[in-house]
């Protein structure tokens, strides 16, 4: 068995051809399992943008990008296997799109010196780059999401939420539990009442939670859901006739997959976001021309322009920009993971740069530094229009409550640093 495996691995290596220097980007995707509806569009967008760079520009800085896809099924054990299988190929950056896998990889990537980018998920306190040297979570994290939702509600209510009731429906996992601490702090600060309702994996069974919502009649419902849980929640909310405009999901609960099954009833549902929606950007013309029409699109090629496709695309854009920055800093076109980390830490996304990439006003502007691996935490709100089947940005990217979040991040990362004996490295 073992020799067989070894020969297979060897022949696989030889089949991959002569060792052409290229930029290796592993894609830990999940196209199977209960979370595939979210995993497929993200992975398609992530792949397609790098294909576009290869086809249109011949790679980044003249070096082609090689994608190595590995199926995790949103399962931590398979995630570990994928990480070990791909890290030896010179992987530049990991984006596992799973909070569970992220927790596993944070210590591993730090030991192996490979950067990890968890865009809008993962461990929130990784924003503190002083402690988490190889983990990045720009441009926004869960606690920004929680605060962004509360800020939006404050705006709706003329700056006063006292006496209001807010319910949080969350996936009962590390991912879903992340915002609770922030929301508790914010409820103290703004005087609203918080009720947390856990939903167990995979989230198809939510009758009792929504019964409780119908009984308690909260003014607003926030949701931290993923996969099939989102659709069920939107449907259940429609069943109890909860007003959709008072129902706000995190960015992982705000894609087409989540609202289409409920049909007309989902009209007005809101979701947070840290990037723009739709295909009204010049880069999509290039994508159509060089990737989709050329038959090189990843997957079935039918996801272009969906919310999660755009997020995968945005993740690829940020990775590509970090590679450019790394090439600029190191002076080499063929960079190492260590160069990549430095590039990510020096990343700056300005409005001019986004426009130059064909993505004007697509995402918030931010910059990364040694202390701040989380960007500037700007969060917007989108709303679903069931008649036209489109999401629209109804509130532009706005700042979140840095005081509350900052102190929570300091507390959590200090605990991690003490537990793992990490010394301060930014001066």
Applying CB under 8 A, the span of 10-18, 145-153, 259-267, 356-364 interacting with other proteins comes to 10-18
Does 141 contact other proteins by CB under 8 A? no
Q: How far is CA 172 from CA 119, 169, 207, 252, 268, in A?
A: 21, 9, 15, 15, 26
Measured from the CB atom, the residue of 125 and 327 that comes closer to other proteins is 125
Strands 378-385 and 390-399: antiparallel
Measured from the CB atom, the residue of 312 and 364 that comes closer to other proteins is 312
Does 123 contact other proteins by CB under 8 A? yes
Residue 7, burial from CB neighbour count under 10 angstroms (0-12, 13-18, 19+): exposed
Measured from the CB atom, the residue of 198 and 268 that comes closer to other proteins is 198
Binding residue for other proteins, selected from 34, 57, 61, 104, defined by CB under 8 A: 104
Report the interhelical angle of 76-87 vs 99-112 (nearest 10°): 30
# binding residues, other proteins (CB under 8 A): 54
Binding residue for other proteins, selected from 69, 193, 286, 342, defined by CB under 8 A: 69
Does 8 contact other proteins by CB under 8 A? yes
Q: How far is the CB of 175 from other proteins (least distance, A)?
A: 8
Handedness of CA 77, 303, 250, 170 (dihedral sign): negative
For residues 266 and 225, what is the distance between their CA atoms, to the nearest angstrom?
Answer: 16
Binding residue for other proteins, selected from 19, 20, 111, 387, defined by CB under 8 A: 111
User: Which of 63, 81, 62 lies closest to 72 in space, CA to CA?
Assistant: 81
Binding residue for other proteins, selected from 57, 157, 172, 414, defined by CB under 8 A: 172
Measured from the CB atom, the residue of 174 and 195 that comes closer to other proteins is 174
Q: How far is the CB of 86 from other proteins (least distance, A)?
A: 9
- Per DSSP, the three-state class of 346 is coil
What is the chain's alpha carbon radius of gyration, rounded to the nearest angstrom? 21
Does 296 contact other proteins by CB under 8 A? no
Which of positions 192-211 make contact with other proteins (CB under 8 A)?
A: 198, 200-201
Measured from the CB atom, the residue of 20 and 111 that comes closer to other proteins is 111
Q: How far is CA 315 from the centre of its chain?
A: 8
Which of positions 38-57 make contact with other proteins (CB under 8 A)?
A: 40
Q: How far is the CB of 57 from other proteins (least distance, A)?
A: 25
For residues 208 and 160, what is the distance between their CA atoms, to the nearest angstrom?
Answer: 30
Does 87 contact other proteins by CB under 8 A? yes
Neighbour-count burial for 272-300, b at 16+ CB within 10 Å, e otherwise: bbbbbbbeebebbebbeebbbeeeebbbe
Contact (Cβ atoms closer than 8 angstroms) between residue 380 and residue 273:
yes
For residues 419 and 427, what is the distance between their CA atoms, to the nearest angstrom?
Answer: 22
Measured from the CB atom, the residue of 100 and 218 that comes closer to other proteins is 100
Applying CB under 8 A, the span of 17-25, 173-181, 236-244, 343-351 interacting with other proteins comes to 173-181
Does 348 contact other proteins by CB under 8 A? no
User: Which of 146, 136, 151, 148 lies closest to 349 in space, CA to CA?
Assistant: 136
Q: How far is the CB of 224 from other proteins (least distance, A)?
A: 12
* β partners of residue 60: 63
Phi and psi angles of residue 29, each rounded to the nearest 5 degrees, phi first: -105, 170
> Which residues form the interface with other proteins (CB under 8 A)?
1, 4-5, 8-9, 11-12, 15, 29, 31-32, 36, 40, 69-71, 73, 75-77, 80-81, 84-85, 87-88, 99-100, 103-104, 107-108, 110-112, 123-125, 172-175, 177-178, 180-181, 198, 200-201, 299, 412, 419-421
């Amino acid at each position: 068995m073992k020799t067989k495996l070894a020969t297979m691995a060897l022949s696989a290596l030889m089949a991959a051809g002569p060792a052409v220097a290229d930029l290796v980007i592993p894609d830990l995707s999940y196209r199977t399992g209960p979370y595939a509806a979210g995993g497929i569009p993200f992975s398609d967008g992530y792949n397609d943008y790098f294909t576009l760079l290869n086809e249109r520009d011949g790679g980044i800085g003249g070096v082609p990008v090689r994608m190595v896809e590995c199926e995790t099924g949103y399962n931590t054990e398979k995630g570990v296997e994928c990480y070990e299988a791909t890290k030896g190929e010179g992987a530049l950056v990991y984006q596992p799109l799973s909070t569970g896998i992220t927790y596993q990889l944070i210590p591993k990537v730090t030991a192996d010196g490979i950067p990890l980018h968890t865009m809008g998920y993962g461990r929130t306190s990784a924003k503190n780059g002083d402690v988490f040297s190889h983990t990045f979570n720009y441009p926004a994290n869960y606690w920004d999401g929680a605060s962004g939702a509360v800020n939006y509600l404050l705006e709706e209510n003329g700056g006063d939420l006292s006496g209001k009731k807010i319910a949080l429906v969350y996936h009962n996992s590390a991912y879903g539990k992340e915002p609770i601490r922030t929301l508790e702090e914010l409820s103290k600060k703004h005087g609203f009442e918080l009720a947390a309702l856990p939903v167990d994996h995979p989230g198809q069974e939510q009758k009792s939670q929504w019964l409780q919502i119908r009984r308690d009649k909260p003014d607003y419902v926030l949701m931290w859901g993923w996969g099939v849980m989102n659709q069920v929640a939107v449907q259940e909310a429609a069943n109890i006739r909860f007003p959709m405009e008072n129902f706000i999901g995190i960015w992982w609960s705000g894609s087409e997959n989540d609202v289409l099954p409920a049909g007309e009833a989902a009209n007005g549902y809101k979701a947070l976001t840290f990037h723009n929606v739709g295909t009204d950007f010049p880069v999509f013309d290039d994508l159509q021309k060089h990737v989709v029409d050329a038959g090189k699109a990843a997957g079935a090629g039918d996801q272009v322009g969906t919310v999660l496709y755009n997020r995968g695309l945005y993740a690829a854009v940020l990775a590509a920009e970090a590679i450019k920055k790394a090439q600029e800093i190191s002076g080499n076109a063929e960079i190492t993971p260590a160069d990549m980390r430095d590039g990510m830490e020096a990343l700056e996304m300005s409005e001019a740069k986004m426009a130059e990439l064909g993505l004007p006003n697509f995402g918030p502007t931010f910059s990364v530094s040694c202390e701040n691996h989380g960007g500037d935490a700007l969060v917007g709100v989108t709303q679903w229009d069931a008649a036209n089947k489109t999401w629209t940005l109804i509130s532009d990217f706005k700042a979140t409550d840095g005081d509350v979040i900052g102190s929570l991040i300091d507390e959590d990362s200090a605990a991690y640093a003490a537990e793992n004996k990490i010394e301060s490295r930014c001066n």
